[in-house]
Amino acid sequence: MTAAALRSWLNAGLAFVYPEACQLCGECRAKVEEGLVCPRCWAQVRFIKPPYCNRCGLPFDGAITSSFECSNCREMDLHFSSARSAVVAAGVVLETIHRYKYQQAMWFEPFLADLFLREALPALRAGQWDCVLPVPLHPTKERAREFNQAGRLAAHLAAGLKISLNESALRRVIPTSTQTRLTREQRAANVRRAFALRPGRKPDGLRLILVDDVFTTGATTSACAKVLRDAGAAEVCVWTVARGL
């Protein structure tokens, strides 16, 4: 069975189980290939546009015309060159990400991937990037969740850029606690030694794109970037679907 035929078969199965109604508001029509998100809910998405922090991509209101770094970046020792996100992590975006990650609501993946690629592909195509890597989950958490959302989103990006995807080079060696309720300093300490490269994996001179679902303070992605830079990577940039404010 071809990939296109398989997608068609899966979409038909989803449409049978989940009638073509928006899985957020439950009132409007929405197609499977749209992630079962209707145009009315889609219109609530807030894309991140300039001005934003030159380092972490935090958006700012106002007429700022020169490049700048926010106070968070000035106070943190960040190891990535830049971080960008497609949309603000609020409202329908935050709900779909939570249901996708924690309730295996896989039908939302086309919606999230669409938001991601709309912004990431135009920005990244101009650069000479070598590889896409997802932020890894600890094996225990990945078995419980049954998938790594960052890995699936990274696969969409790698396919769109037509560059390689490496899901095995970077690993999480410590099963860290959730970052949700931690302060900025606690987040950094929580993940400081959580990541490592697999033996024999050396990203010497490579320019790498690190992918996650949500960026908040940058502690997790910075810890990953440090491991990659210490191993010889020439540059690590970060892209996520959503940005916490």
The average pLDDT across 140-153 equals: 94
- The answer to whether residue 206 sits within a structural domain is yes
Whole-model pTM?
Answer: 0.88
Residue 5 has pLDDT above 70, yes or no: no
- The answer to whether residue 3 sits within a structural domain is no
- The answer to whether residue 49 sits within a structural domain is yes
Residue 45 has pLDDT above 90, yes or no: yes
Confidence of residue 6 (pLDDT cuts 50, 70, 90): very low
Confidence of residue 68 (pLDDT cuts 50, 70, 90): confident
Average pLDDT, the chain: 89
- The answer to whether residue 39 sits within a structural domain is yes
Confidence of residue 181 (pLDDT cuts 50, 70, 90): low
The first and second tokens of residue 25, run together, are 């508001």
The average pLDDT across 192-215 equals: 93
CATH code for position 84: 3.40.50.2020
* Helix, strand, coil abundance in the chain, percent, nearest 5: 40, 15, 45
Residue 218 has pLDDT above 70, yes or no: yes
Residue 73 sits in which domain range? 20-243
- The answer to whether residue 7 sits within a structural domain is no
207: which DSSP letter? E
- From residue 171, give the alpha-carbon distance in Å to each of 141, 148, 151, 161: 12, 12, 12, 23
Number of domains comprising the chain? 1
Task: Lowest mean pLDDT of 126-130, 186-190, 197-201, name the range.
Answer: 186-190
- The answer to whether residue 2 sits within a structural domain is no
- The answer to whether residue 10 sits within a structural domain is no
Residue 196 has pLDDT above 60, yes or no: yes
Instruction: Tell the burial category of 3 from Cβ atoms under 10 Å away from its Cβ (0-12, 13-18, 19+).
Output: exposed
Sorted by sequence, the CB contacts under 8 Å of residue 69 that are 6+ apart come out as 53, 54, 55, 56
- What does the pLDDT read at residue 104? 93
- What does the pLDDT read at residue 18? 56
Task: Lowest mean pLDDT of 76-80, 86-90, 228-232, name the range.
Answer: 76-80
Sorted by sequence, the CB contacts under 8 Å of residue 67 that are 6+ apart come out as 54
164 φ, ψ to 5°? Answer: -75, 155
108: which DSSP letter? G
- The answer to whether residue 48 sits within a structural domain is yes
The first and second tokens of residue 243, run together, are 């940005």
Neighbours of 47 (CB within 10 A): 12
Q: Hunting for tokens 């709309």 — which residue is that?
A: 118
- What does the pLDDT read at residue 132? 98
Alpha helix positions (H), the chain? 3-17, 39-42, 71-75, 91-102, 109-124, 139-145, 149-161, 184-191, 219-230
- What does the pLDDT read at residue 9? 47
Instruction: Tell the burial category of 74 from Cβ atoms under 10 Å away from its Cβ (0-12, 13-18, 19+).
Output: exposed
Instruction: Tell the burial category of 17 from Cβ atoms under 10 Å away from its Cβ (0-12, 13-18, 19+).
Output: exposed
